[in-house]
Chains A and B, each alone.
Chain A
Amino acid sequence: MGNRAQILIVGTIFLGLALVPLFAELTQTPFYLDLARRMMILAIGALSLNLIMGYGGLISFGHAAYIGIGAYTVGICAEHELVSGFIQWPLAILVSGVFAIIFGLISLRTRGVYFIMITLALAQMMYFLGVSLDRYGGDDGLPLIERSNFGALVDISNNVTLYFIVLGALVLSLFFCKRLINSRFGMVLQGTRSNETRMKTIGFPTLRYQLTAFVIAGMMAGFAGALLANHTDFINPDMMHWTRSGDLIIMVLLGGMGSLAGPVVGALAFILLEELLSGVTEYWQLIFGPFLILVVLFARGGLLGFFADKEQRDG
């Protein structure tokens, strides 16, 4: 963690991301702006999942639910003409946090496969709740009449401005995760992943730390959801579908589970491959699937670990 090759890779990625608006402007391809913005929002979601999955050893198969809850909070607020981002965004984080407390208390009573199944079930419950909300578009979803309004501070109805807000949010999220995992709390979380029984016998009531991590991850995902609603100008239940949660898990695995910046690399690689391969064939998953298997089998530590270690060997 934190070796020079990794810092180099991550630095290059962020430099590249910062240059995307310029590139899109010069080549008149706003599509790339849109693509990179979606990558970064999902990267925040993947970072939050990595906190509990990579560092906590808790494989949540329902993490997209919190992204959806965040997005729905923004969408529902906008529908009721509450458009201030100063209210919408904190509220999205808060509501996701409340759901994470409740779902965490239920699912953390179990471990392993049962934990995976319960988080999956709870998230699907949210998906069907979204489908049944006829007032807010039901199955079809709901267009966002207006993006979050930050008054005179910043105008995110401009696509480039929103882009840099998202980029800033990603950098802050990464920094936040770095501080968190190296803190006392982070050590407890990682110790519990490694050996929960031992943690209990040196005096840690492990559940409360796992629950806290679960809630922090849920709130971060809720924040990503608030960004996503603004990004797509639209909310729909599909954001919470279990396959979206699966995508997040794949991003974390692809980039490097339990490494700080791995999920960012994973989210970028995932969206990029999806885009490239689906351009080649409708059955892009036929290529993506084996690729993922190869990464998991041969690049322990994911893409980031693979390239970072390789450079270290070469150097």
Chain B
Amino acid sequence: MAEIVLQVSDLCKSFGGVLATDHLDLGVERGSIHAVIGPNGAGKTTLINQLSGLLTSDGGKIQFNRNDITKLSAPIRAKMGLARTFQITSVFGEFTALENVSLAVQAHDGHSFKLWHDARRDKALTGPALEALTIVGLEKRQSIKASLMSHGERRQLEIAMALATKPKMLLLDEPMAGMGPEESNRMVSILSELKGTVTILLIEHDMGAVFSLADKITVLVYGGEIATGTPDQIRANPEVRSAYLGDEDFES
């Protein structure tokens, strides 16, 4: 059995009386794409916020590369190699694509108290940044301001920023959200290229993408896990089918 990179045990989070994460257990194997699916309100984004450190957990434990990270802050988790993207595109609008990614490189390489030298001419930043942009196919758009890019491009830019921090694991919160079919296909091919080089936890509503990319799928309903398995196992699971009853995406 492959090594577990991210181990979540008995994780809980409630908002008022609502259990958004209900005693969740989850293990993600190194190099795999592990998808988490579930109907709206199942607690998927809450889970990513807990994993990335934006939300503190009420109970349970998160281990990343065998280190207990449950109580660590978001920046420290990011430095340890746990990168994420956001469901609502989260880039720096007034910066160019290259500047956006350079900033992410800078976060990783650790020298941000340089107060004098021009960061935009710093090859140690722009070099790796351009590499990350090339991976997502945005190298020709490097000097365009992020706010002027198309929605799909900004989603790609977000992936490039996450990659530029040299992550050991990516937490992707609906990378295909709001995309047209063409942009979605492009994202699927970017993610399948990444497969194996970096471990990915993928939250996604696009079932076509999930079933073609994922090695393993966990189904969440009301914050709790109802099934985990290979795409084939999940497809055949009657409980999952009833949770998704009437969801035509799932039939396909």
Residue numbers of A with Cβ under 8 A of B are 179-180, 182-188, 190-191, 194-195, 197-206, 209, 212
Contacts and interface: CB of A to CB of B under 8 A. Distances in A.
B86 A184 contact: no
Given A197-B54, A203-B107, A186 B78 contact: no
Given A182-B120, A200-B54, A205 B115 contact: no
A203 B165 contact: yes
A185 B92 CA distance: 16
Contacts of B125: 184
Contacts of A180: 115-116
A202 B53 CA distance: 11
Chain A: interface secondary structure? helix
A51 to B, nearest CB: 11
Interface stretch (B97-105, B188-196, B201-209): B97-105
Nearest to B114: A184
Contact of A202 (B93, B103, B111, B114): B103
B117 A184 contact: yes
Interface residues on B, range: 35 or more
23 contacts: A179-B117, A183-B114, A185-B113, A185-B115, A187-B99, A187-B106, A187-B119, A190-B94, A191-B95, A195-B92, A198-B90, A200-B53, A200-B78, A201-B52, A201-B54, A201-B78, A202-B78, A202-B103, A203-B75, A203-B78, A204-B107, A205-B76, A209-B112
A202 B119 contact: no
Given A184-B122, A187-B99, A202-B78, 7 more contacts: A184-B125, A185-B114, A195-B91, A195-B92, A202-B104, A204-B75, A204-B107
A197 B79 CA distance: 15
Contacts of B115: 179-180, 183, 185-186
B75 A184 contact: no
Interface string B231-245: 000000000000000
B161 A194 contact: no
B108 A203 contact: yes
Interface of B: 52-54, 73-76, 78-79, 83-84, 86, 90-95, 99, 102-104, 106-108, 111-120, 122, 125, 161-162, 165
Contacts of A206: 75
Contacts of B92: 190-191, 194-195, 198
A188 B103 CA distance: 7
Contacts of B118: 179, 182-183
B90 A184 contact: no
B69 to A, nearest CB: 13
Contacts of A184: 106, 111-114, 117, 119, 122, 125
A256 to B, nearest CB: 14
Most buried by A among B76, B91, B92, B162: B92
Contacts of B107: 199, 202-204
A187 B99 CA distance: 8
A205 B73 CA distance: 9
A184 B52 CA distance: 24
B23 to A, nearest CB: 26
Contacts of B165: 202-203
Contacts of B114: 183-185
